[in-house]
């Protein structure tokens, strides 16, 4: 698994260069050339269900073995219900994996992840169904996403034989809630951690200021509130921190992630070949000292827990 991964929820995303087969192929070519070989998609990604996987399958034709391929199934809000019920059920998993394998044009998925917890299906059933896929060779490893600390512990206690190996949750310098329960649970139960939205949708690349950002960016086109409501005083202190060390914000952001031994791969999304190349290069540009990490904690710290007394 490469330390820098490629998040693929841009594949097939409306209004991006990666909406098309050509744009997708350009990004994937650049990723593989730069050594970014861990790719993370999901059945729900793309402007229509399955499109990201379909574009991935086309772009991987003839070179499937060059990447470690992760995908996801069973998003509670977006995945269509499949006959058989809940998204973590045996029936849903069986159907979902066959559909993903067909769209991805492959015989196996390296990491198959439950996209969101399923409150209706006992985790034992989900684990059992996934273990069958591992035994059949359709899936190599299994992971989960958006689990809380207690759900990670519950899944570990329920497993016998095939176990979840990874947790994927939102985590970045601007979204640090995973530090409370999820990262400690991942450490305790030996899971690799995959931070999603690692660049906070692009806000942590350095291309935005209090005054604005590129019109063609996802943030300005689709999620302007992320820019409008950003903690600009802290982000400006972060930019000063980078300037004082002669590094870019992108380099500092990747360096911060990769100094954390729990982080298996930084699955940053990209809409162009140049972005993937920049992300791969950023990963080796800067290694923070313990003092640097402490200073960053002071600038962009975890907010106080409102539940704490």
Q: Which residues are catalytic?
A: 45
Selected binder of ligand NAP within 25, 103, 138, 200 (CB under 6 A) = 200
Residue with smallest beta-carbon separation from ligand NAP: 269
Greatest Cα pair distance, the chain, in angstroms, is 57
Find the Cα–Cα–Cα–Cα dihedral 147, 151, 152, 154, rounded to 10°: -160
| C-alpha to C-alpha distance for 60 and 38, rounded to whole angstroms | 13
Query: Is 174 a binder of ligand NAP (CB under 6 A)?
Result: no
Selected binder of ligand NAP within 7, 74, 192, 255 (CB under 6 A) = 7
Query: Is 271 a binder of ligand NAP (CB under 6 A)?
Result: yes
Cα Rg of the chain (Å, integer): 19
Instruction: Report which of 6, 12, 114 is spatially closest to residue 66, judged by C-alpha positions.
Output: 6
Residue 64 CB, shortest distance to ligand NAP, in Å, is: 18
Q: Is 112 helix (H, G, I), strand (E, B) or coil?
A: strand
Both tokens of 254, joined, read 């990747």
Report the alpha-carbon angle 166-167-169, nearest 5. 150
Q: Is the Cβ of residue 89 or residue 146 nearer to ligand NAP in the bound state?
A: 146
**Which residue shows structure tokens 């035994």?**
135
Q: Is the Cβ of residue 192 or residue 198 nearer to ligand NAP in the bound state?
A: 198
Query: Is 171 a binder of ligand NAP (CB under 6 A)?
Result: no
Q: Is 147 helix (H, G, I), strand (E, B) or coil?
A: coil
| C-alpha to C-alpha distance for 274 and 122, rounded to whole angstroms | 44
Q: Is the Cβ of residue 44 or residue 129 nearer to ligand NAP in the bound state?
A: 44
| C-alpha to C-alpha distance for 254 and 36, rounded to whole angstroms | 13
Could you give the string, one character per residue 222-261, with x where binding to ligand NAP holds by CB under 6 A and - elsewhere?
----------------------------x-----------
Residue 70 CB, shortest distance to ligand NAP, in Å, is: 8
Query: Which one of 60-68, 152-160, 184-192, 202-210 is the stretch in contact with ligand NAP (CB under 6 A)?
Result: 202-210
Query: Is 166 a binder of ligand NAP (CB under 6 A)?
Result: no
Could you give the string, one character per residue 64-93, with x where binding to ligand NAP holds by CB under 6 A and - elsewhere?
------------------------------
The half-sphere exposure of 277 on its side-chain side, counting CA atoms within 13 A, is: 7
| C-alpha to C-alpha distance for 267 and 5, rounded to whole angstroms | 4
Q: How far is CA 243 from the centre of its chain?
A: 28
Q: Is the Cβ of residue 15 or residue 294 nearer to ligand NAP in the bound state?
A: 15
Q: Is the Cβ of residue 203 or residue 296 nearer to ligand NAP in the bound state?
A: 203
Report the alpha-carbon angle 24-14-87, nearest 5. 90
Report the phi/psi class of residue 29: left, alpha or beta, with left for phi > 0 and alpha for psi in -120 to 50. alpha
Query: Is 269 a binder of ligand NAP (CB under 6 A)?
Result: yes
Query: Is 100 a binder of ligand NAP (CB under 6 A)?
Result: no
Residue 273 CB, shortest distance to ligand NAP, in Å, is: 11
- Footprint of ligand NAP on residues 272-291 (CB under 6 A)? 275, 278-279
Residues that bind ligand NAP (CB under 6 A): 7-10, 40, 115, 145-146, 168, 196-202, 205, 207, 217-218, 250, 267-271, 275, 278-279
């Amino acid at each position: 698994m490469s330390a820098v991964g490629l998040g693929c929820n841009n594949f097939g995303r409306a209004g991006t260069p990666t909406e098309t087969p050509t744009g997708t192929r350009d990004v994937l070519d650049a990723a593989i050339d730069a050594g970014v070989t861990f790719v993370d998609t999901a059945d729900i990604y793309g402007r229509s269900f399955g499109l990201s996987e379909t574009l991935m399958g086309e772009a991987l034709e003839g070179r499937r073995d060059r990447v470690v391929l992760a995908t996801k199934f069973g998003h509670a809000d977006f995945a269509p219900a499949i006959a058989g019920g809940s998204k973590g059920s045996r029936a849903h998993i069986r159907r979902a994996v066959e559909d993903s394998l067909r769209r991805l044009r492959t015989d196996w998925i390296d990491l198959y992840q439950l996209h969101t917890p399923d409150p209706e299906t006992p985790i034992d059933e989900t684990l059992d169904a996934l273990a069958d896929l591992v035994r059949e060779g359709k899936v190599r490893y299994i992971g989960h996403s958006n689990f809380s600390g207690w759900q990670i512990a519950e899944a570990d206690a329920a497993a016998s034989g095939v176990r979840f190996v990874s947790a994927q949750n939102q985590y970045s310098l601007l979204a640090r809630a995973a530090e409370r329960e999820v990262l400690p649970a991942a450490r305790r139960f030996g899971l690799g951690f995959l931070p999603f939205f690692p660049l906070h949708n692009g806000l942590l690349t350095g291309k935005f200021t209090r005054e604005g950002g590129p019109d063609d960016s996802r943030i300005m086109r689709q999620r302007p509130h992320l820019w409008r409501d950003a903690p600009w005083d802290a982000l400006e202190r972060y930019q000063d921190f980078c300037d004082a060390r002669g590094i870019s914000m992108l380099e500092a952001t990747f360096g911060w992630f990769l100094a954390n031994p729990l982080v298996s791969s930084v699955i940053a999304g990209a809409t162009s070949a140049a972005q993937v190349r920049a992300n791969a290069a950023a990963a080796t540009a800067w290694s923070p000292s313990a003092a640097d990490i402490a200073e960053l904690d002071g600038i962009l710290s975890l907010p106080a827990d409102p539940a704490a007394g």
